[in-house]
Every structure is written in structure tokens, then in C-alpha cells.
Structure 1
Amino acid sequence: MKKHLLMAAVLAALLVLVGLAGLATGPYPFSLGDILRVLAGQEVPHGELIIQLRMPRVLLAFITGAVLSCGGFFMQALIKNPLADPYIMGVTAGAGLGVNLLILGLIPIAQFTLFTYPLFAALGAVLSLLVVLVLGFRLLYEDNARLLIAGVAVASLFTAITGVLIYTLADSDEVRRMIFWTFGSLHRAHWPAVYVSACLLLMALLYGFLFARRMDVLLLGDLDARSLGMRIIAFKLSLLLITSLTVGGIVAFTGPIGFVGMMIPHFSRSVLGAAHRPNILLGSLAGGIFLCACDVLSQGLYPPAGLPIGIITAILGVPFFLYVLFSPNTYL
């Protein structure tokens, strides 16, 4: 318990620091005093930039990192593999295909609402995981390496389909929009997106809190879990569904952002151990802080526009992926 409280205190302090850094970073500089006065409701020149642009961006970065971390915990519990991640398993690629089909007008929609893009992103994510299940049909019989390989293949397939659509059907404006979105970006953050994303985060956290013990049991192996009375098939399908809905919905606003769901669970387990309940709660906080820090870094490296945040996470994530892949403790 002391370890949990200490980690929570450290993460809370880091959250304040990266949050203030995110509010201060951008084309128009703000001092710490300006930020504090705006947060206190006082008038500051151009203070609306903080409320209307930077605060939604910081919050969306935090929520996105938290949801991706939850998705990583869910995927790694599902196939018991440290390389599992919504990005690697094809969830984000499927969600991206659903969004790009809407951008190109290939899905007829009479009226767009705030929920249109998250809905079709989630449907694309569900579709990709269904294909993964078909290819890795031994999911229910402990063949977890097959499922991981199937996820990588499906992610590549859906990414290739998206590339074909961009190359053959998109005009110049759509190409710029789709390519920038495909890299993963927070530039289109706004308050309605924050509200919807917060609901998705609450869904992920609630699921993780309620079913953490079952995920702990699942790590024992399917035979042991079944002997303890767990309905293995139903629970694994629920893990797939909650990951598709939450991560897919987030991808609709940010584009695919990779490796967060792989790196953060490793960090969290190295500090807290294997139990899922504290890991999901504190790991989601760590994931949000990590993505906020990546956003500050992305804006600082290439001002004033900044780099797409997905590029930053890929630069950090690929070496970590290779480290885990070649670690002697990793079993595919």
C-alpha cells in the first residue's frame, strides 16, 4: 500500500508539471503567472488561447494516454504476451480505416454528429479484431503467439487498404488531412472531443476496476481459470469488445498513436507487481502523463506547428519494442 501511495504522489506531482508545461508550450508564450491567473478566472491578454486551445489539447493528450494504457493492460491480459498493444494488434489500424472511409465519403451518412467518427472508428476496430480472431482462431486454446502474429498481419493489411484509398480516391485537401491524421495528432483537440473521450476513459477504468481479479486469474492460464469457474470465452470476448470501443473511439479524435499501450504496462508492473487493479488505475495515470510529456516534446522540437505526436511515440516505442522482443524473459 505504501508503494501505491508513493507512486500516486509522484505521478500527481508529474501531472501538475507536465500539465503546466503543456499550457505554456505553443506559438504564443505564456508565463506560469499568466497560466495561474487564467485558471483562477482572471483576465490575461490572449488568455482565451489557454482555455479554448491548449487546455483541451492537454486534457485530450492525458485521456488518450490513459485509455491506450488501459487497452495495453487488456490486450496483454488477453494473450499473456508483453508485446501486445492495441496498435500492434490492429485495433488502431481498423479504427483508422473506419474514420478514413468517412472522410472520403464512402460511407453514406445523412448527418454527422460528435459521435459519428468515434462510432465508425469503434466499428472498424471491432472488425479488425474479428479478422484477428479468425486468423488466430486458437485464441481460446492458449496459442497466443498465433494471435499476436495475426494482429500484426491485420494491422498491416488495414494500413495498406487505407494507403490505397488515400492514393486513389482522395483529393489534395483530403490527402493532407488523412496523412496528418494517420501520423497521430492532437491539433484538432476541442472541448466536445474531451467530453466524449472522458466518457471512454471512464468506461475503460470501470471495466478494469470491476474485472481486474478476473484478469489476474486469466494470467494463471486458461485451464486453471476454467477450473476456478471462469467463463473463458465470454470474458476474452469482453476484453476484445471494451478495447475496441474505448481505443477505437479515442483514435477517431487523435489518429493512431502507437506503443503507449505496450510501454506503460511494463513500467507499471515493474513498480507495482502483477495485480491488475492498482496497475490499471495508476498505470492509466502514468500513460496520461507520458503522452502529455510527448506532446510538449513534439511542440518543442518543431515549432510553431509541432510534430505529430505519433512520430514521437514511435521514436520512443520502437527501441523499447526491440528491447522487450529480445529480452530473455520474453516468451512469444
Structure 2
Amino acid sequence: MDGQIHKGGLIAVSDGGPVFVKAIDGSGEFKDKHYIAGVLREAIKEIGHDKVVQVITDNANVMKSPKALIEVADTRFASVVIMLKRLKLIKRCLQAMAISEQWASYKEDDVGKAQKVKEMILSDLWWDRVDYILEFAVLIYDMTRLVDTDKPCLHLVYEMWDSMIEKVKAAIYRHEGLEDDEYNSFWSVVYDILIDRWTKNCTPLHCLAHSLNPKYYSTEWLLENSKLIPPHRDHEISLEMSKCLDRYFEDVNELNVVKFEFIAFSRGRFPLPAALTDRNKMAPARAEDLVYVYSNLRLLSMRNKEYINRDTKM
């Protein structure tokens, strides 16, 4: 049986398939290797030592050395960006290595490749390209990393994507020395990729959560950018939010009450984003029960042939 810590939960895998064992409340804990080891020890005791043959942990940053080089692989999260960031951290060391006597006397394996690597490491143009890639790629990486944490952020995702796309464009246009209304073929490609990914990830639930966040009705947030408008005045957000409400409330009378309440909410006044601190919070015990039920229902549904073969299997 394999045990996996994933986003505050433990999943056990056996010949019969995966089962979500329990959610873990890690609030207030520094999730380093020592904390994870303690959680795993307790889980192994519950499951039984004789039933555990392997343990798989998350690849969070706190679990690794920041300067360790990793192998670029499709299964790793943003591995290319991480690799470039780490190469930049040890830039001077790499350059010193490339001009050392030991490197000059290198005669094994592929000598031509070694020479090419040396030329790249010592090239200012190559490092300029690395800086350019990181200038906009880190914006994407930081946003996706932020939503991959244990912190509740469903109510922030829609605006985070929107803001990230604008920042990426600004970084590219600043580097290319272009005005905001000028066409750039590279930005066009990047934009299409980002929009395609956001289209696949965005759900009506994101729009509903965005619409119920007092921050996006506050005067302070609206004054940050002249293009910003409150959620209830955004046609796309309103349409997707309505879809979400229609799915949740099958009873027409309940649906009408909810929509009436939302109209009253959206017309309210939220002078400061501090109104967020007044929202109700779900108790950890109830959250753990909901995660347990939801996760196991999904795991069970994956055994269904209809789930595997239908268009939405991914």
C-alpha cells in the first residue's frame, strides 16, 4: 500500500485502487520535512506497518534545497522555469567552472557538447534571454504556485488569472519597447496559450466565488485600474455565475430567493477589502468530512466505464 500526502490529505493505494483516508488540518504548521515525517508516522501506525511498502510526498519547495538542479521532465511542475531560476542563482559559479583548467582539459564523452555548453554559459546574450524568459514566465509560475497551496483562494482565482495575463503582456511589451496598442506576434502566441488554458480551467464556480467576494465591489479595488468593473456588471461573469446557481438550486422558488439576495448583496457598499475578514469560516471538522466524502466519490467514479470513456474524463 502506498501513502501520499497531497494538499492536506492522505491517499492510500492498493490493488483495489486508491482510497482517500483522511484530510489533514495543517493550519499553523510549518510544513517542512519534519512535519511531513510526523504526519506520515501517525498515518502508518493507523494503517499498519506491514501494509505499507512505499511513501510518496509532495514536491513542495520547503522539502528541497533551493539550489538543487532538477531533471527537466513533463511530469514536474514548471520544471523549465525552476531550472532557469536555479541556473541564474549559480550563474557566477557556472561561469567560473566553464573557464577553469579542469573544464579545458575535459576530453571524455561528447567534447563538442561540452564546448557548446561553455559558450552558452559565457554568453551575455544567452543570459539576457534567460532573464527575458523569467521576466514573464515567473509571473505565470507564481500565480499557478499560489493556487496550488492549502490556502483558500477559489474566490481569488478569476481575478488572479486576469491580472496575471495583463502583467505578462506588460513585461513582454516593456522588453520589446512596444506601445500597448501595437501588435506583437510573440505576445499573440503567449496570449492564445494562456487563454486556452484558462478556458479549460475556468468553471462557473470560479465566477460565483468571484462575484461573492466583497473585495471586487470595494472602491479601493475599483480605483486601481480604470478598466475594472464590479462582478455584477461583467456580462461573462454574470452569465457563468447564473449557470452555477441554476445547477445548485433546482427549486425555482429557492433560486429566485438566492438571486434576489445576490442583487441586494451586489448593490451594497464595501468601502474597504477589510470586509473579507467578516465572512464566515467553515469549521475544520466539517471541512474534513466534506473533503473525505468528495474525494472518495471521485475515486470511486473513476472505476466507472462511463467516466473513463466520456469526453470529460480529464
Is TM more than 0.5 here?
A: no
Tell me which protein shows more helix as a share of its residues: 1
More strand by share: 2
Give the TM-score taking structure 1 as reference length: 0.26
The structure number with the bigger radius of gyration is: 2
Say which structure, 1 or 2, has more relative contact order (CA 8 Å, 6+ apart). 1
